[in-house]
Amino acid sequence: MKRQFISLFILVMILLSFGIGFTQDVLTKPLVWPDYVKRGKLDNGLNYAIIEHQKPKDRMLAYILIQAGSLQETDSERGIAHYIEHMGFNGSKHFPPGELVKYFASIGTDMGPSINAYTSFDRTVYMVEVSTEKEEYIDKSLIALSDYAAGMLLTHEEVEKERGIILEELRLGSTLDRRIFEQDIAITLKGSLYPERLPIGLEETITKFTHEDLKKFYSNWYRPDLMTLVVVGDIKVPEIEKKIKDIFLEISAPEGNKPDLTVPFKPHSEIYTGVITDPELNFLIYKLSPGTFFNEN
């Protein structure tokens, strides 16, 4: 049942992340949302969707998606979106440093499986799954998501404490699979920004970020008109909608126009080729872009 619950949730998140949604004819026929999805938009620009789904019983899953990831970074900011994602757990308006993870652990919501986040090329997503047996758990979950959206403290002390953790994640991620992926994407998406903006970033930029750098990126990109909140679970839709309005309308409307999220990509008619290899590989990978791998032992 939980797998069905999460699959439904992921489908809604994918649809919402495209902004205008999928289209039947791509250009002419807009998406028709099913009646069971309650959608809305706050005055500050934040979009939301709510689905009542009673299996599993007494559970709620909530995500907030920010349409900003590593592609929104400058050359000197490589890795900063991911750094900010980490900082969401290190002190915010309603949860002093160390308190957010401690509180959710006290109600059976452990870091990792039930409260987590990730950074991708075009988005940063924070998620929490809690019991709905107590209204307090629902309220605290939505407040935590609102803190990720607009309440991070990003203090100098906490930024410095987190730096070593991120550098260790970078080191541990330097695996054979990752090195192959980096060579692969450099061929597949040659001429685009993607190969130069892997979300983990670079050691030389990560070591230089200050808390002011993080605050600047956070202020520029964490704006409600680039956010979508999704709540799915054994809940009452009108009650959740009221809570969303009460909590998330406190986020100030953004100044200035919504930034252009288009990432330039120049189509090419020629075929890009390359050889992917590594000291740990016992074969070569010949790559044609787009499309095919050939292995030679």
What CA–CA distance (Å, rounded) separates 278 from 294?
15
Out of 85, 158, 162, 255, pick the active-site residue: 85
Q: Are residues 80 and 69 in contact, defined by beta-carbon separation less than 8 angstroms?
A: no
73 is catalytic: no
Sheet holding 284-289, edge to edge: 272-276, 284-289, 292-296
CB distance 47 to 39 below 8 Å = yes
Can you read off the two tokens belonging to residue 3?
Answer: 């797998």
Among 261, 77, 260, 266, smallest CA distance to 189 is for: 266
DSSP letter at 259?
Answer: P
DSSP state string for 243-256? HHHHHHTTSPPPSS
List, by residue number, the catalytic residues. 85
